[in-house]
Structure 1
Amino acid sequence: MNLDIQAYNNSQSAEDKLICYILAEQINLQLPEAENKIWHAHPVWFLEENPIVGYSKQKKGIRLLFWSGKSFEETKLNVLGTKFQDASIFYNSVNEIDITDLKTWLQKAQEIQWDYKNIVKRKGILERLK
């Protein structure tokens, strides 16, 4: 595991640390070719420099975010805004993590991608890559 991500996970409370480790482990298993690093202060995985999935500690819990998740059309993923294609789910216990769902979402994250890498160049306009 990336040492910076490991340090991020270790900085969490006991339950949140377990959640983070399970998420990181599953993401690494399902997206072995993805680059991962701390980006904007939280762990993020990239395919061809395009952000795909990440997680962060927020007031509501550990938020697992898929940058193109709105297009997955998964009812368990919450779509908060209308401008971008992100969707997420919050976890407060490891018991809430459904590994089958997580694997499905990570598969969709590879198959369905919006071009966040070039969003600044396109002045906020997203284009679908896959």
Structure 2
Amino acid sequence: MALTALGGLAALGYGIDGLLSETRATNPHNSLRWLIAGVLAHDVLLVPAVALVGLLLSRAVPGPYRAVVQGALIVSGSVAAASLPLWRGYGGTPGNATVDALPYGRNLLIVLGAVWAAATVIMVFRRRRSRRSRRTGPARGM
């Protein structure tokens, strides 16, 4: 564990050194603003929203399907958050279509559709399995 922590601290130090020594490329003031906004958005918006969704899920989704829905929501949120700069169009260069050449919004919808299709298949499989086990009844011992 100590070796991993040292590696993490070394990577953090390298990143901070690059941020502060390459100010034209990194714009430390803007980076600090994004860091503060990210921490505030996480603590003020994301955590309460996740807690509320978790509460609603515990009341609205039946037990056998709850974990599947939670997993699909976690994957969906992670993919959407990780690709936010792409599907929002941040970082592109005006007049240079090759920088942001893909339809990221559409591609995000395709990925999310695949995630929820897989979740639906898993839930259908669980429903059929539970119906089958109810029909056959409990196994009788010797």
TM-score calculated relative to the size of structure 2 = 0.27
Q: Greater strand percent: which structure?
A: 1
Greater fraction helix: 2
* Highest RCO, 1 vs 2 (Cα 8 Å, sep ≥ 6): 1
Q: Larger radius of gyration, structure 1 or 2?
A: 2
